[in-house]
Chains A and B, each alone.
Chain A
Amino acid sequence: MTTQITSARPAAGPRKGPRRRPAAPSATTVGRPGFAWALPAAVFFALFAIVPLIMVAVLSFMTWDGLSSPQFVGMDNWSRLADDPVMLKSIWLTLLLTVLGVVIQTPLSIVLGVWAAGHQRNRAVLSVIYFIPLLLSATAVSVLWRALLDPNFGIPAEATWLFGDGNLFGEQATAIGVLAFVSTWQFTPFHTLIYQGAARAVPRVLYQAAEIDGAGRYRQFFHITLPQLRNAMITSMILMIVGGLTTFETVLILTQGGPGTDTTISAYYMYDKAFRGFDYGTGSAIALALVVASTIISLIVVRVSGYDKMRSSMEGVS
């Protein structure tokens, strides 16, 4: 911490990952566990995650209806998907919802997180209420909002001055609005938590120095707090993007992809193709596309956050 404060641009340096010290040359292998300790977990994980992942790639080149045995069909699924207007639309919808999520939730959770980082008692009490959406499963959140926004018995029917005819699920624009809103309601507390932690870690001295220099609150916010939140921002945004790409329950329960296919995002389309249309090959192709997108983004996370370099910050310290 103390070294952080004296450096000129504290945000740039620290979180990049711990410094690596050269390994001690002595006989440090004594008393160290072999890879056998990691093996059971690795085998279990390989069986239930890596093997299916390879199979999804293989299945994307096959046709399978769930009953007969899978048949190899080459690029058929892929070329059909490339010409499928619903698929193309679903990609746009997925991107739209993901971008909406990032754009709405990031400023909101930064403001809330910085606010909640204060140590005043009323903030602590309110924070408890703020974080309640976190406790609900995605299923419960979706079921709750489906009930609250019910066209006949929900809030829109009460407030027709705001919601028009009250059927928010009847039109594409309002249905997308509902999905973006419900995701925001569900996930903002989580991202607020990330920013709250990061805001608390900002060294006090920076603010004291700024105050001596006569900087007001807003200048402090834009020149100290925001730059210091850079790492938290990267983590949170990437989580939002990955989460956005794989949104599923919300769509299944709130809109069923409708009206028509107007909110059919890729993950939902995959489910629909595979488990309702019994076209598991095409479903696999969509799934593979999703995992490629998600992997690329996660590799960026690993790079940016320095997880891969985190062998140990304590090794060799003696």
Chain B
Amino acid sequence: MRRRPNYVAGAGSLVWLFLVGLPLYVMLAATLRTRQDYAENGPVSLPDTFTLDNYSRAFDSGFGQYFFNTLVVTACVIGIVLLLVPPLAYAIVRSRGRTTSAIFRLFLLGLAIPAQAVIVPMFYLISEAGLYDNLLGVILPTAAFCLPMSALILSGAMRDISPELYEAMAMDGASPRRMFFQLVLPLSRGGVSTIVVFSALQAWNGFLFPLVLTQSDSTKVVTLGLYNFQTAHGIDIPGLLGAVVLSMVPILLVYLFARRALVQGLMGVGGK
């Protein structure tokens, strides 16, 4: 179709490739060489040593525990979202009541609430509830802040279900409950997987809630571990970057196996 190559866009994309590629190369190279090699030859040079020592050092500094904690938080957040959002989205799409409209508006408004805005009272509430420095204290607010975007994504997916199908079921005298389980849930699997990925990303990458609501090593999540590692061992750059790479691995795996759902989940992230 296009006869001449598009030089401007091509050049722009090459510059971007360099900007993204160089840091990623430096990061990976730094984690696979010895600290001494890195310090002596600088970050951009070609590594002349090979070691996995940086990864084990990062792992030994507590990241095993942090990974486990993050996994618990992520799983529970996904659980809460899966329990609450499908019925909510179903009501938003199908209910004709005023109360449901009001609830939908509440969630639309909720899209505008940044976590930073409520972090002080959240700290107060969680402390009063005795959940400070407890993973549950991180899980509950994280899940709550996943709800508005998830509701929007899933109700969008549920709107694509043809009304004839509802009518056919209504004709058979099906209750809203049966329609939900036999029609709506099976037909909105794509939307459900998107909100799972979206919430998982929010939980996995969450930082502010854990930063403010936890304190001890036994409740630390990965992002917080990275931050602490940086403050404590800022000089040990290969070890630090090893920790960064470790923190990426699960998301990279999802990227390999469920790229579509991940990209859609990520598009949701922007609307936080």
Enumerate chain A interface residues (CB-CB to B < 8 A).
28-35, 37-42, 44-53, 55-56, 59, 64, 108, 111-112, 114-116, 123, 126, 129-140, 143-148, 150, 153-155, 157-158, 185, 188, 190-191, 193-194, 217, 239, 242-243, 245-246, 248-249, 252-253, 267, 270-271, 274-275, 280, 283-284, 287-288, 290-291, 294-295, 297-299, 302, 307-308, 310, 312-318
- A291 and B113 form a contact (CB under 8 A): yes
Give, as a whole number of angstroms, the nearest-CB distance from A235 to chain B. Answer: 9
Which B residues are CB-close (under 8 A) to A55?
118, 121, 124-125
Which A residues are CB-close (under 8 A) to B115?
246
Alpha-carbon separation in the docked complex, A47 to B122 (Å): 10
- A298 and B112 form a contact (CB under 8 A): yes
Q: Which of A37, A46, A114, A253 contacts B87 (CB 8 A)?
A: A37
Which B residues are CB-close (under 8 A) to A140?
205, 223, 226, 244, 247-248
Which B residues are CB-close (under 8 A) to A116?
13
- Determine if B75 is an interface residue (Cβ-Cβ < 8 Å): no
Alpha-carbon separation in the docked complex, A42 to B109 (Å): 12
Enumerate chain B interface residues (CB-CB to A < 8 A).
2, 4, 6, 8-10, 12-13, 16-17, 19-21, 23-24, 26-27, 30, 38-39, 42-44, 80, 83-85, 87-88, 90-97, 99-100, 103-125, 140-141, 143-145, 147-148, 151-152, 156, 159-164, 166-167, 169-170, 174-176, 179-180, 204-205, 207-208, 212, 223-224, 226-227, 229-230, 234-235, 237, 240-241, 243-244, 247-248, 251-252, 255, 263, 266-267, 269-272
Q: Which 3 A-B pairs have the closest CB atoms?
A: A298-B112, A48-B144, A137-B205
Contact A313 B159, CB 8 Å, known A34-B97, A55-B125, A249-B207: yes
Which A residues are CB-close (under 8 A) to B99?
35, 38
Contact A41 B87, CB 8 Å, known A35-B100, A137-B223, A295-B109: yes
Contact A32 B176, CB 8 Å, known A41-B88, A55-B125, A126-B17: yes
Which A residues are CB-close (under 8 A) to B230?
143, 146-147, 253
- B88 and A49 form a contact (CB under 8 A): no
- B121 and A144 form a contact (CB under 8 A): no
Among residues of B, the one whose C-beta sits closest to the C-beta of A217 is B6
- B16 and A112 form a contact (CB under 8 A): yes
Alpha-carbon separation in the docked complex, A242 to B149 (Å): 15
- A129 and B120 form a contact (CB under 8 A): no
Alpha-carbon separation in the docked complex, A31 to B80 (Å): 26
Some 23 contacts from A to B, beta carbons below 8 A apart, are: A30-B170, A34-B95, A35-B91, A38-B91, A38-B103, A38-B104, A45-B107, A49-B118, A49-B144, A111-B12, A115-B9, A130-B13, A133-B20, A137-B204, A144-B241, A144-B244, A154-B237, A248-B208, A249-B208, A275-B123, A294-B113, A307-B152, A314-B159
- B88 and A38 form a contact (CB under 8 A): yes
Contact A28 B96, CB 8 Å, known A129-B21, A185-B20: yes
Q: Which of A38, A138, A154, A191 contacts B207 (CB 8 A)?
A: A138
- A308 and B144 form a contact (CB under 8 A): no
Among residues of B, the one whose C-beta sits closest to the C-beta of A187 is B270
Which A residues are CB-close (under 8 A) to B106?
42, 45-46, 50
Give, as a whole number of angstroms, the nearest-CB distance from B191 to chain A. Answer: 14
Which A residues are CB-close (under 8 A) to B105?
308
- A312 and B108 form a contact (CB under 8 A): no
Give, as a whole number of angstroms, the nearest-CB distance from A240 to chain B. Answer: 9
Give, as a whole number of angstroms, the nearest-CB distance from A115 to chain B. Answer: 4
Alpha-carbon separation in the docked complex, A38 to B212 (Å): 30
Which A residues are CB-close (under 8 A) to B227?
139, 143, 252-253
- B116 and A53 form a contact (CB under 8 A): no
- A148 and B120 form a contact (CB under 8 A): no
- B23 and A148 form a contact (CB under 8 A): yes
Alpha-carbon separation in the docked complex, A38 to B103 (Å): 7
- A137 and B170 form a contact (CB under 8 A): no
- B166 and A31 form a contact (CB under 8 A): yes
Which B residues are CB-close (under 8 A) to A313?
159
- A44 and B112 form a contact (CB under 8 A): no
- B85 and A242 form a contact (CB under 8 A): no
Alpha-carbon separation in the docked complex, A23 to B205 (Å): 43
Alpha-carbon separation in the docked complex, A52 to B152 (Å): 22
Further contacts, 13 of them, CB under 8 A, given A56-B117, A144-B241, A291-B114? A37-B87, A38-B92, A41-B84, A45-B147, A56-B120, A129-B24, A145-B23, A153-B42, A193-B266, A287-B120, A290-B114, A294-B114, A318-B163
Which B residues are CB-close (under 8 A) to A40?
83-84, 87-88
- B39 and A153 form a contact (CB under 8 A): yes
Alpha-carbon separation in the docked complex, A52 to B209 (Å): 13
Q: Which of A112, A136, A318 contacts B13 (CB 8 A)?
A: A112
Contact A44 B226, CB 8 Å, known A32-B95, A287-B118: no
- A148 and B43 form a contact (CB under 8 A): yes
- B205 and A274 form a contact (CB under 8 A): no
Among residues of A, the one whose C-beta sits closest to the C-beta of B240 is A147
- A137 and B247 form a contact (CB under 8 A): yes
Give, as a whole number of angstroms, the nearest-CB distance from B133 to chain A. Answer: 14
Alpha-carbon separation in the docked complex, A280 to B104 (Å): 32
Which B residues are CB-close (under 8 A) to A47?
144
- A33 and B44 form a contact (CB under 8 A): no
